[in-house]
Structure 1
């Protein structure tokens, strides 16, 4: 039987290529489809919790705003994220085998875009331009904030003044010597003064602290020092403000004790750290105990826990109330009020607010009968802080506090740890030993989690912090903080002396632990600047380990391992040049850093030592046998990368005959001068004079690789950085 098969399809030379193209397209679509189904199945099996990862994506958008250079890149990222969210939701929303993937991609993309927009809006709303140049002015100003810093023999005033030259109001931070201070110089008062003003300083060296960025988000236009006497124009009408209460509380605590313990107790009670000496600050930092000086999770949790348990026990003594009201709910509300009051009293700093939010969420979970320590609780607290203060993401305080909390929660939610801590029939010695072992393990995990952050921001970290914290944390939580509260309570009746005596001895023990730990051989690990990619790998690996469940979390070890290898091969800069070219540090010529100038301030020296990853007192080039120094210049030869480098560094501002200078430059590889050099000065590789440094900022030179790291490379078009024209 004949059938109609239609017209015959011609089988020319192009038929094979058409067939191959169809097969390639089919294979590509099949591959993408299989990948999407596999990813969806992985998310489902691994118990993917979108909430914490949305907070991570939100933080990622904020971080991207800081890393990317300018508005067109920020806009492109926002647009690409929104398009990705639309594509994911429309392509996969009706596919049950890809629903997890669709929701994840949509939510993460939108959270990423939201992070960029939030920090962009925050920068535009609070940021103010700095003054154009250093100057000395006489003006009237109203005091906005007063911070006493007796350890540094000064008072720090934040004031508002009118700048007639620019026609705008400016917020300025000034240092006033203690011998010129007057108790009437408090919030709300108007004063007349003469001050030396400086624009907020950018990083002195690549990887250094960026005060200009911090000042931008604080609304500061300048900083400076008050010169001469200060005249009170108008007294403050505010007699009993919160700042006054904080100062009186701090002064009262210090009057009950003496020495370092008095200063630390005042910090615990009121958040006033101005009386803590630099030596104690350094010992606490190097021993891994500096977090105890900042009012954060430990202190807020102790106050809230005390309020919760005391109110619960006292309310239980009232049978009528106990039979009619859920006491845990009432106790949780009272504990929350304790925490909020303590947060406000101690200045409402970002770490304190973060801790208060987290503790209140824990109380809500307890009142509702839910799991109090959860990753979601940490994510909600982090998202709230970042929504209000998105700039806090790039600061060490936010990163360290949330990393520590995440490490604790992730560790204690792990199956093996839950089984290890599960109640069982055992002797009290075994129970105490198990708890002590867990405390030490928690300290070690926190130390490992925080080490990359500490090295990235501070270029040094304590090695024995976990062991010091095993004693210090229980001491502060269960002894010192309750004793301070008891002393303040008994002082209402004039009976607080015994409590303050015990507090004195407990804090002497804390300070002793800090100094003993910091003084041990190898207690401090110094490291030069960590690269941004290496730091990102550490953070990515840590977040993966902390947020995933089961065996899937072990995949986070891969980026952490790669980051560790990169960290091990991170080179130390050979030459460091400050942003004003006045200070030069040279590493690799022995165990001590060579410096061009020995400044009166420790700021430049500390920056050079940190960025070089070196310790000890530096050596002046004029005292180094291999250097040749005159009144005007120092020359030095360095052997790096199989060749000899010659450096010429200016020491004075005296006029040099141009022809002689040009002849000298032609024989030199690197010339450094804190003034403008003539164009005829043409060294073989680099001329770091004032003209160039205004554009680049501080420099780190890696001679073997012939690489230059500039401060300007990490600034982009953000408002706090001025890209100077040559």
Structure 2
């Protein structure tokens, strides 16, 4: 009874501050769904739904301890919500390599990490593939110069298509899961011309408007600056080169390129202030009408238009929801910037797209927003002076940049494996220009375009963007501008997030207890171990850990996989540099001697023939099938499709991508064969020799 009374008193002290916990527990259930190794059955969902309802009923009946019932109820609801969403978006996925005619409608145009233009098509038709097995969407990279078809156009080409690939290493980013929720059932490339099969229809008018605006801006503002303008106004990054992207990332200014909370906040804030000032200059309007609410409605309309114009991607949608909640609070005479508003925005986003919980954008944007609200609320409540009136904007900018940078740094480092050291300095030079020059000039240009007077506004906008790009190039060129960090273990981010959330949401001195799990997560991260051996799922690359870093078996080819491995190692080396680290060779074949086994890489038919005289205990990794039986163990792409990428752990155990991700809706694993069981026995025996 005493414990129950103590818990009731503790929760009673938090009365009025418990709403922000709803998206937290809902997110915990969503995260639990994605961490499962097998897909729950319908009986599990029905049971969880019943438990959730019973707990909700219990919460209503026992008000003092209601929160203890609501927490698992929302967690169970979150798991059911994520499962329902995964089944709702289910669409056919290719299970073979396809080469042949592809027809479809262009729904979006973007640029790949290798700087190639990509077309995303829906209404797909594939030769000799039944409609029930045809993907809802496919994405095709264009090799070589192409006339980009307009959105909505029906096109045809001849393309190579593959199923979405699994993680580049066990436990890594699962692109299959990402593609599942985008309904991308096939990805590939074409070297053939893309032909128009029909005029643009009426299905994607917003996309056509985006492309028209992006083309207009790139015509009026040439070069990288025009591409930057198209990116921040229409969400079209195809005009931004890889060198500029690298500079923005190294200077921690890449967030200016993505239409997210900063852009939406600056735009709606400028419109809100401008409309309020204009109405206030008209006394009859200012005295008779609620000017503040009218300005909020105008800002909300501007934000909605920006959402449509930018393509409505997840990051922009999330930013609009956050702004809409805050402007809605203004319309309802509530305080706009509170943790309740942030929690309401997070709740809406999770209810609409539960999978966004796993995205870096969701984690970083809400981490930054919640931290900023908490810090400035604490400064306000404690009446901390920020200096004289003229210095307060500068102090607020420095504090906000430092707080947002500190809040997002762990998530950015975990997802992107880099830590920019001069990001605060770069943001102090660039963000004020974005807010006071670029965004206002863009709004003025849009307003003046119908009468043909947008030229001056575009010139001002160009000056501001030139400055931002110059800052990015300069800061990226500083000595030691960026350092690399190794990828954390699976438990690090959830543990860190739980501690940080508790420290931000809880009221009272007990919030300091949240620093314990956050510090424990960072300690675990510092001791993270990378696998000594990784084998690509294609059989085209092997990476082994040497004293100076990971050594790769090939200096070129499989560049995407090689880049991910090195990034996760926290290694800044290029693929040729990592390949130069390989120490042992058997003729022209790279070999690595483990304890109890020998690993040989023989990609291609010619090299596989040279490895035919292998011995018992050898593991041959190849991109080709075995020409004749041998005494060694041969891992071919056909076998690796059963497992995905393979890692040998520091203890000698075997971890496959199949084991790490489990049998989920999006996995698509082939049945595991005898070769993998033999590989497990071989590695288990070798582990005993260590």
TM-score with structure 2 setting the length:
0.89
The alignment status of 1:594 with 2:551, answered yes or no, reads yes
The alignment status of 1:229 with 2:186, answered yes or no, reads no
Within 5 A, what are the aligned runs for 1:102-117?
Answer: 103-117=66-80
Within 5 A, what are the aligned runs for 1:171-250?
Answer: 171-177=137-143, 179-181=145-147, 185-238=149-202, 241-250=205-214
The alignment status of 1:618 with 2:575, answered yes or no, reads yes
Question: Secondary structure at 2:601's aligned position in 1?
Answer: strand
- Residue of structure 1 aligned with 2:54, choices 73, 76, 86: 86
Task: Evaluate the alpha carbon distance shift between residue 624 and residue 288 of structure 1 in structure 2; reply closer, same or farther with a 3 A threshold.
Answer: closer
Question: Secondary structure at 2:155's aligned position in 1?
Answer: strand
- Residue of structure 2 aligned with 1:548, choices 494, 501, 506: 506
The alignment status of 1:627 with 2:584, answered yes or no, reads yes
Shift, 1:75, TM fit: 5.4
Question: Secondary structure at 1:586's aligned position in 2?
Answer: strand
After superposition, the C-alpha distances for 1:141-198 in whole angstroms (9 at most, x for unaligned) are: 333334478993535242322344333243212223563426xx33443333211111
Task: State the alpha-carbon separation in 2 of the partners of residues 366 and 435 from structure 1.
Answer: 22
Question: Secondary structure at 1:540's aligned position in 2?
Answer: helix
The alignment status of 1:59 with 2:22, answered yes or no, reads no
The alignment status of 1:674 with 2:626, answered yes or no, reads no
Between stretches 57-66 and 520-529, larger displacement belongs to: 520-529
Please name the residue that 1:3 is paired with.
none
Task: Evaluate the alpha carbon distance shift between residue 512 and residue 342 of structure 1 in structure 2; reply closer, same or farther with a 3 A threshold.
Answer: same
Tell me if structure 1 keeps the 8 A contact 2:556–2:576: no
Where structure 2 has 5 or more consecutive residues not aligned to the other structure, the ranges are: 674-690
Tell me if structure 2 keeps the 8 A contact 1:315–1:327: yes
Tell me if structure 2 keeps the 8 A contact 1:301–1:359: yes
Please name the residue that 1:701 is paired with.
648
Tell me if structure 2 keeps the 8 A contact 1:46–1:552: no
Task: State the alpha-carbon separation in 1 of the partners of residues 348 and 124 from structure 2.
Answer: 33
Task: State the alpha-carbon separation in 2 of the partners of residues 88 and 172 from structure 1.
Answer: 42
Task: State the alpha-carbon separation in 1 of the partners of residues 573 and 393 from structure 2.
Answer: 40
Task: Evaluate the alpha carbon distance shift between residue 143 and residue 558 of structure 1 in structure 2; reply closer, same or farther with a 3 A threshold.
Answer: same
Task: Evaluate the alpha carbon distance shift between residue 309 and residue 446 of structure 1 in structure 2; reply closer, same or farther with a 3 A threshold.
Answer: closer
Within 5 A, what are the aligned runs for 1:279-428?
Answer: 279-414=243-378, 416=379, 418-421=381-384, 427-428=388-389
Shift, 1:608, TM fit: 2.3
Task: Evaluate the alpha carbon distance shift between residue 93 and residue 193 of structure 1 in structure 2; reply closer, same or farther with a 3 A threshold.
Answer: closer
Where structure 1 has 5 or more consecutive residues not aligned to the other structure, the ranges are: 1-32
Between stretches 547-556 and 644-653, larger displacement belongs to: 644-653
Tell me if structure 1 keeps the 8 A contact 2:556–2:575: no
Shift, 1:610, TM fit: 1.1
- Residue of structure 2 aligned with 1:499, choices 440, 457, 463: 457
Task: Evaluate the alpha carbon distance shift between residue 644 and residue 150 of structure 1 in structure 2; reply closer, same or farther with a 3 A threshold.
Answer: closer
Shift, 1:88, TM fit: 8.0
Shift, 1:541, TM fit: 0.8
Question: Secondary structure at 1:236's aligned position in 2?
Answer: coil
Task: Evaluate the alpha carbon distance shift between residue 162 and residue 627 of structure 1 in structure 2; reply closer, same or farther with a 3 A threshold.
Answer: same
Shift, 1:210, TM fit: 2.4
Shift, 1:600, TM fit: 4.4
Question: Secondary structure at 1:223's aligned position in 2?
Answer: strand
- Residue of structure 1 aligned with 2:467, choices 484, 488, 509: 509
Question: Secondary structure at 1:530's aligned position in 2?
Answer: coil
Within 5 A, what are the aligned runs for 1:505-654?
Answer: 505-590=463-548, 593-600=550-557, 602-619=559-576, 623=580, 626-631=583-588, 633-637=589-593, 646-654=598-606
Shift, 1:596, TM fit: 0.9
Tell me if structure 2 keeps the 8 A contact 1:528–1:612: yes
Task: Evaluate the alpha carbon distance shift between residue 87 and residue 393 of structure 1 in structure 2; reply closer, same or farther with a 3 A threshold.
Answer: closer
Between stretches 570-579 and 389-398, larger displacement belongs to: 570-579
Please name the residue that 1:100 is paired with.
64
After superposition, the C-alpha distances for 1:582-620 in whole angstroms (9 at most, x for unaligned) are: 1112233325x4211122464133112112221122347
Shift, 1:240, TM fit: 9.1
Task: Evaluate the alpha carbon distance shift between residue 494 and residue 139 of structure 1 in structure 2; reply closer, same or farther with a 3 A threshold.
Answer: closer
Task: State the alpha-carbon separation in 2 of the partners of residues 203 and 376 from structure 1.
Answer: 37
Tell me if structure 2 keeps the 8 A contact 1:46–1:549: yes
Tell me if structure 2 keeps the 8 A contact 1:597–1:620: no
Task: State the alpha-carbon separation in 1 of the partners of residues 33 and 341 from structure 2.
Answer: 26
Task: State the alpha-carbon separation in 1 of the partners of residues 185 and 257 from structure 2.
Answer: 29
Task: State the alpha-carbon separation in 2 of the partners of residues 87 and 247 from structure 1.
Answer: 50
Task: State the alpha-carbon separation in 2 of the partners of residues 493 and 369 from structure 1.
Answer: 37
- Residue of structure 1 aligned with 2:10, choices 17, 42, 47: 42
After superposition, the C-alpha distances for 1:396-430 in whole angstroms (9 at most, x for unaligned) are: 1111111111111111122x45435568xx744xx
The alignment status of 1:710 with 2:656, answered yes or no, reads yes
Question: Secondary structure at 2:546's aligned position in 1?
Answer: coil
Tell me if structure 2 keeps the 8 A contact 1:594–1:619: no
Shift, 1:525, TM fit: 3.0
After superposition, the C-alpha distances for 1:678-722 in whole angstroms (9 at most, x for unaligned) are: 885457xxx75545522221123334x224443223322222112
Please name the residue that 1:129 is paired with.
92
Task: State the alpha-carbon separation in 2 of the partners of residues 656 and 262 from structure 1.
Answer: 50
Shift, 1:515, TM fit: 2.6
Task: State the alpha-carbon separation in 2 of the partners of residues 621 and 111 from structure 1.
Answer: 47
Please name the residue that 2:680 is paired with.
none
Task: Evaluate the alpha carbon distance shift between residue 587 and residue 411 of structure 1 in structure 2; reply closer, same or farther with a 3 A threshold.
Answer: same
Larger radius of gyration: 1
Task: State the alpha-carbon separation in 1 of the partners of residues 52 and 351 from structure 2.
Answer: 23
Please name the residue that 2:83 is paired with.
120
Please name the residue that 1:161 is paired with.
124
Between stretches 41-50 and 405-414, larger displacement belongs to: 41-50
Question: Secondary structure at 2:193's aligned position in 1?
Answer: strand
Tell me if structure 1 keeps the 8 A contact 2:346–2:366: yes
Task: Evaluate the alpha carbon distance shift between residue 78 and residue 526 of structure 1 in structure 2; reply closer, same or farther with a 3 A threshold.
Answer: farther
Question: Secondary structure at 1:179's aligned position in 2?
Answer: coil
After superposition, the C-alpha distances for 1:350-392 in whole angstroms (9 at most, x for unaligned) are: 1212211211222222233322111111111111111111111
Tell me if structure 2 keeps the 8 A contact 1:649–1:671: yes
Task: State the alpha-carbon separation in 2 of the partners of residues 167 and 673 from structure 1.
Answer: 35
After superposition, the C-alpha distances for 1:625-655 in whole angstroms (9 at most, x for unaligned) are: 7321424x322347xxxx7974322233248
